[in-house]
Amino acid sequence: MSAEREQEMLELTAAYALGALSPEEMRAFESWLATSPAGQREVAEYREVGALMALDAGASPGAAASPDLRQRVIERATSQKARSLPASKVRTGSLVWIGLAASLVAVAGLGLQQRALRQQLAVQTTSIAALEATIATREARLATREAELNSILDPNVQLTRMGTPGSREPVVQLFWNRRSNLVLIHAFQLTPAVATRAYQLWFIPKHGNPIPSVTFNTEADGHGLVQQIKVPEGMELTAAAITEEPAGGSPQPTTTPFLVGTLSAS
């Protein structure tokens, strides 16, 4: 990355920490952030500034929270398993009441019969259920994305690139967290393997045969992501490689690796 581009990204750190980037800017920024320790430090520091800005929100005297809020907080948090509350409880709960209130007002105003009220409530309930499902899906995606980002932002992570970034050829980025000894791989521009085949990751030790790891496949757009891959311990690894194998994987490579990346010793 050019120095100019690096500076351009660094100048976005404050806005990123505030969540003020456009979706396009955010994608580009997060891609850069994953490989920039300096950027990660800046973002962490601006998030601390954000936490302090919260104090400014309460700088003036005014309405206080209900005295029983503390108890309700504890009850809500600790009863989650028993009640199986969805993550979107706040919004969905409010939406339910908004929906019901809107239905009741509409029905009363128009003087509809009880049957009409039931029908309208049914419509609202259906609509709310659809909204709840959408929210839950998006929150699940968000949680997944956050976990992915966290796993590559760790300062102990070492990046190995397999392939030629910037070309149209397949590329796999391997993020190795030295502390947890776990790997995350991100593939792109990699055509999905056919149904009976899969891609397989290999760790190449200094001495001995390649060590088989996970098998995976990519989406139709050529992207793929695999997390929490355990790195073999007790040996010096010199490289990682990707081959195409029968679905389910092989104990030893049956094809020539088409992507190889060097793993540094530390």
Nearer to another protein, 72 or 118 (CB): 72
Q: Does 223 bind another protein (CB under 8 A)?
A: yes
Question: Does residue number 265 form part of the binding site for another protein (CB under 8 A)?
Answer: no
Q: How many residues does the structure list for the chain?
A: 266
Contact residue for another protein among 249, 253, 258, 260 (CB under 8 A): 249
The contacts of residue 1 (CB under 8 Å, 6+ apart) are: 9, 32
Q: What is the 8-class DSSP label of residue 251?
A: S
Q: Which stretch binds another protein (CB under 8 A): 11-19, 115-123, 163-171, 254-262?
A: 11-19
Provide, rounded to whole angstroms, the least separation between the CB of residue 155 and another protein. 6
Nearer to another protein, 198 or 263 (CB): 198
Nearer to another protein, 47 or 197 (CB): 47
| CB-nearer residue toward another protein: 206 or 223 | 223
Kindly indicate which of the ranges 107-115, 118-126, 164-172, 176-184 contains the residues binding another protein, using the contact rule CB under 8 A. 176-184
Q: Does 208 bind another protein (CB under 8 A)?
A: no
Residue in 29, 175, 176, 216 binding another protein, rule: CB under 8 A: 216
* Window 103-142: residues binding another protein (CB under 8 A): none
How many angstroms from the chain centroid is the CA of residue 166? 24
- Separation between Cα atoms, residue 168 and residue 34, nearest integer Å: 21
Q: How far is the CB of 208 from another protein (least distance, A)?
A: 15
Using CB under 8 A as the binding rule, the residues of this chain from 30 to 59 that contact another protein are 41, 44-59
DSSP label of 206: S
In sequence order, what are the beta bridge partners of 159? 175
State the minimum distance, in angstroms, from the CB of residue 245 to another protein. 8
Residue showing tokens 């998030």 = 47
Edge-to-edge strand order for the sheet containing 224-230? 157-162, 171-177, 182-188, 224-230
Stretch of 106-114, 118-126, 159-167, 212-220 contacting another protein, by CB under 8 A = 212-220
Shortest Cβ 121–another protein spacing (Å) = 20
Q: Is residue 69 involved in binding another protein (CB under 8 A)?
A: yes
Q: Are 247 and 197 in contact (CB under 8 A)?
A: yes
Give the three-class secondary structure for 226. strand
Instruction: Please choose, from the candidates 205, 190, 206, 195, the residue with its C-alpha nearest in 3D space to the C-alpha of residue 243.
Output: 190
Residue 30's region, left for phi above 0, alpha for psi from -120 to 50, else beta, is alpha
